[in-house]
Structure 1
Amino acid sequence: MSQQDGPLFFVGIDWAAAEHAVCVLDHTGKKTAAFTIDHTAAGFTRLAARLSGLGPAERIPVAIERPDGRLVDALLEAAHPVLPVKPTAIKTWREAEVLSGAKSDPGDAHVIADYLRVRIHRLRPAAPLSSHTKALRAVVRTRSELVEARIAASNQLAALLDAHWPGAKVIFANIESAIALAFLTRYPTAASAASLTEKRLAAFCTKQGYSGKKPAAVLLTRLRSAPAGTLDPVVSQGIQDAVLAQVGMLTALNTGIKALDRSIAEKMDTHPDGEVFQSFPRAGTINAAQILTEWGDSRAAFDHPDAIAALAGITPVTKASGKQRGVSFRWACNKRLRLAITTFAANSRHSSPWAADIYNRARASGKDHPHTTRILARAWIRVIWRCWQNHTPYDPALHGGAQHQVTQPTAA
């Protein structure tokens, strides 16, 4: 790219919660401007006005240590190329360039701008997302956070019951299930369930609409065969308060997750790429949405499936020096996308003979399950990318590799 059509200036922004430091360098590295803006609408407007005075927005790239957020959205909407940079990369660059070790917000903004100026050809611009994808991403990521919170709350409740009433933890399969929480609401302590009989437990299960296959007699045996719970009345009152608080938290989390599940289903039905991502074997709705929101919908940003594979951390990293050469796990990646795509890949082998064949051959060569799953995920990324680029749902009949698996036994 020539200087005539290349970047005019390079902008580095040191992001903070309330105030952002901004540094502008020209193509020689000379500082053109340095100022701060508040994290407010007025601050964003001031930034846009200062940058617009330098030239066309598309020729003024901006580097920032965040891939998303309202500041990033404002810069993208103003047509600036936004290039997210990793804090660890900036830290290493600062240590090499600032020999004194001095550090400040304006200094960091200068380091980021200089990093952008020197390495812009190695950085990937942030791809603007459509409104459909932004809405879906907000719901999907919030759901993931609630699921993590539910796991933590379940573990806390399990630890509480282990210490004071082990039977209540094992009577039902899942401690966060509706029936288990209803049981703990009715019987929060061992003392409150001291007179529980098989008949009463059966009536309770019927009232709660329990759909498990275990009869009341089996459930009661589980409850009574566990170590005895605390019966001290003073301690029991404290346990009751603690258990009910945990039950209330889990009930609220379950309600929120179910509401977000419905929202995700609705948004996937209206998303332009929803049908494509839901068409793959065992993708379902939630997992397909998780992949779609992290994958994005900017086709120009990913002109080859290997770019997606690297973003997801599926491709390994090769390190070579002299006669030594090693291949290692890729840590720097979009971890949400990696989890989503590997979860899908692991499930797909149960419905797709093509996926099962790739998985089985990799396992037979001595690779463990996580490595094998990443190999299968990389193969699926090539297929998903082609369907995504063509706006075409997956059809096994048109998938050459899948058709080979179908026809091979007949040919043999």
Structure 2
Amino acid sequence: MRKRLDSDAEEPEEIWFAGVDWGSQLHQVRVSDRCGRSLGDRGFAHGGEGLAELAAWILQKTGASPDAVHIAIEVPHGPVVESLMERGFQLYSINPKQLDRFRDRFSPSGSKDDSRDALVLADSLRTDRRSFRALRAVDPLVVELREWSRIAEELGQDQLRLANRIQNQLWRYFPQLLELSDGTIEPWLLALWQLAPIPGKAARLRESTIARLLKNHRIRRVSAADIIQALRAPAIPMAPGAVESAVAHIKILIGQIEPIRRQIKQANAQLEARLEHFLSKEETAEGQQVEQRDVTILRSLPGVGKIVLATLLAEASDALRRRDYHALRCLSGVAPVTKRSGKSRQVLMRRAVLVRLRNAIYYWSRIAVRLDPRSRARYEALRANGHNYSRALRGVADRLLRVACTMLERQTTFDPNTVLRSASGQAPSASIA
């Protein structure tokens, strides 16, 4: 016999609940029935054997099929989640901050242990399932795309750290080189340093040698004559051995940064290949044009490049599939947090976000302001109202997310001359507090 709940989803009449307090070495699990009566509480070692034993123990305690067991866990990813989802259990995740509030119902004193947390997870899922996020199996291609986008981001952060260290060493003894760039350590600048790692040698470089280096790196914003003039500026007096030590330090850093730059190129190539595969794999309805596919629609938006597109698809695939504008603006930090109490009212920036998605949306809105007249007009209006740079960009991002969801609903690509309206008939709104 089956019944229909408020969510309009069918499920077995008899259902069971479990809470998993995961750990690096031991996972604590508690199982209860729909009335909250405990069926068992046990810990399992992390590993293939332990996770298989965990799943078998839950099935043995409940005597039910996996789809009748609802399991709560704090994280929406990882080996525990993947192992249980693979076996067909119904999984839900909850934010650790929310779990901390639920814990107060069971322990007003604030005491905490793994067994109690498993109890809190299981019982809170039983009574407040709407507060948990149901987890669904993710397309393997999305998993790969997510991993490569994260790899590319992490490599970029590693490159930035090394570049900052090189910049610090150049600032110590050779600041003339830093005047030639816009604050970044570029490959052509490192090639110039390798030709002349100390100011005395740099002052003797020929203009033709520098011109050839600039041509090889396709640099046109600075001329060989300008570089010669900068390199022949008076050097900073240094204590004996200081220049030599700085040069040795930079050589080591260059040896680390060059492989990372090659790896970033490889990661970007992998991202591009998977985006193309994603596009070719998308199934369309009969008679639907290629331009109507989701990836093509998102690509058509101003400011959406390879990195932004990959991050949107990898970090917010479920919200995009549901065309859920409100979920997107919350996950990306565009939606504010309003706190009201009596006459008091505070509007704060949202901090509980997907950081990678927030960074991608921020970058997207920054580029859109340059490319899209309507985004630019929205930005200027917010700045004129006294909002700061970041707040104005969040306003632009809010409009872009609404436009993206409306385009996905209508399956139309971006047209700067069209004012899209959502299914409710409302024009894209960009007002946020």
TM-score category, normalised to shorter length: 0.7 to 0.9
Give 2:351's match in structure 1, choosing from 331, 338, 341. Answer: 331
Q: What does the per-residue CA deviation read over 1:323-358, in whole Å, with 9 as the maximum and x for residues that have no partner?
A: 323322211122222221232123223333332333
Distance in 2, matches of 1:216 and 1:4, equals 73
Answer yes or no: is the 8 Å Cα contact 1:83–1:125 preserved in 2: yes
CA distance in 1, matches of 2:245, 2:306: 42
The higher relative CO (CA closer than 8 Å, separation ≥ 6) is in 1
Is the Cα contact below 8 Å between 1:313 and 1:332 reproduced in 2?
yes
Partner of 1:268: 275
Equivalent of 1:215 in 223, 231, 239 = 223
Q: Report the Cα offset of residue 261 of structure 1.
A: 1.3
Report what 1:154 is aligned to: 163
Determine helix, strand or coil for the equivalent of 2:370.
coil
Structure 1: how far apart are the matches of 2:86 and 2:415? 37
Residue in 1 that maps onto 2:431: none
* TM-aligned CA deviation for residue 165 of structure 1: 2.3
Give the conservation status (yes or no) of the 8 Å contact 1:62–1:81: yes
Quote the residue 2:424 is aligned against.
Answer: none
Against the structure 1 CA distance between its residues 389 and 139, is the aligned structure 2 distance closer, same or farther, given a 3 Å change threshold?
farther
2:306 is matched with which residue? 285
Q: CA deviation at 1:237?
A: 3.2
Query: C-alpha separation between the residues in 2 aligned to 1:14 and 1:238?
Result: 51
- Paired with 1:363 and 1:119, the residues of 2 have a C-alpha distance of 42
- Alpha-carbon deviation of 1:222? 1.9
| Secondary structure in 2 matching 1:315 | coil
Question: Residue 102 of structure 1: SS of its match in structure 2?
Answer: coil
Q: Which residue of 1 aligns with 2:68?
A: 59
Query: What does residue range 6-85 of structure 1 map to in structure 2 within 5 Å?
Result: 8-53=15-60, 54=62, 55-85=64-94
List per-residue Cα deviations over 1:108-165 (Å, max 9, x = no partner): 2223323333322122223432112111110111111111222221111111111232
Residue 103 (structure 2) pairs with residue 94 (structure 1): yes
Decide which moves more: 9-18 or 146-155: 9-18
Matches within 5 A, 1:145-184: 145-173=154-182, 175-184=184-193
Whole-angstrom CA distance in 2 between matches of 1:15 and 1:131: 24
Structure with higher helix content: 1
Amino acid at match of 2:236: A
Query: After the TM superposition, which of the residue ranges 262-271 and 70-79 deviates more from structure 2?
Result: 70-79
Tell me if structure 1 keeps the 8 A contact 2:203–2:232.
no
| Counterpart code for 1:37 | F
Q: 1:103 to 1:222 in 2, by over 3 A?
A: same
Q: Residues of 2 paired with 1:305 and 1:201: CA distance?
A: 52
Structure 1 residue 229 displacement after superposition: 6.1
Please report how far the alpha carbon of residue 179 of structure 1 lies from its aligned counterpart in structure 2 after TM superposition: 0.8
1:341 matches 2:361: yes
Instruction: Give the whole-Å Cα distance in 2 for the aligned partners of 1:293 and 1:228.
Output: 49
Checking the alignment, whether the CA contact within 8 Å between 1:127 and 1:298 is kept in structure 2 is: no
Which secondary structure does the structure 2 equivalent of 1:400 belong to?
A: coil
- Counterparts in 2 of 1:189-208, with a 5 A limit? 189-190=198-199, 192-193=201-202, 195-206=204-215, 208=216
Mapped partners of 1:59, 1:389: distance in 2: 33
Between stretches 151-160 and 100-109, larger displacement belongs to 100-109
Q: Report SS of the residue matched to 2:414.
A: coil
After alignment, is 319-328 or 87-96 more displaced? 87-96
Give me the whole-angstrom Cα distance separating, in 1, the residues matched to 2:324 and 2:228.
58
Q: Tell me, in whole angstroms, the C-alpha distance in 2 between the residues paired with 1:116 and 1:187.
A: 65
Q: What is the TM-score with the length of structure 1 in the denominator?
A: 0.86
3-state SS, counterpart of residue 349 of structure 1: helix
- For the 8 Å contact 2:202–2:231, the answer to whether it is kept is no
Separation of aligned partners in 1, 2:412 and 2:137: 22
The CA deviation at 1:286 is 1.7
Corresponding residue of 1:408: none
Query: Per the alignment, do residues 201 and 349 of structure 1 end up closer, same or farther by CA in structure 2, a change over 3 Å counting?
Result: closer
Contact map agreement 1:312 1:335 (CA 8 A) in 2: yes
- Quickly say closer, same or farther: Cα 1:297–1:95, change in 2 above 3 A: closer
Alignment-mate amino acid for residue 289 of structure 1: A
Q: Which runs of 5+ in 2 are unaligned?
A: 283-293, 422-426, 428-433
Identity of aligned residues (%): 25
Query: What CA deviation, in whole Å up to 9, does each residue of 1:147-197 have, x standing for no partner?
Result: 122222111111111123222333344543111122233333445536434
Cα separation, partners in 2 of 1:298 and 1:333, compared to 1, 3 Å? closer
Q: Structure 1 residues 149, 7: CA separation in 2 closer, same or farther (over 3 Å shift)?
A: farther
Partners of 1:144 and 1:285 in 2: CA distance: 12
- State the number of aligned residues: 400
TM-score (norm 2): 0.82
Contact 2:311 2:360 in 1 (8 A): yes
SS in 1 for 2:232: helix
Residue pair 1:314, 1:377 contacting (<8 A) in 2 also: yes
303 and 47 in structure 1: CA distance in 2 versus 1, 3 angstrom threshold = farther
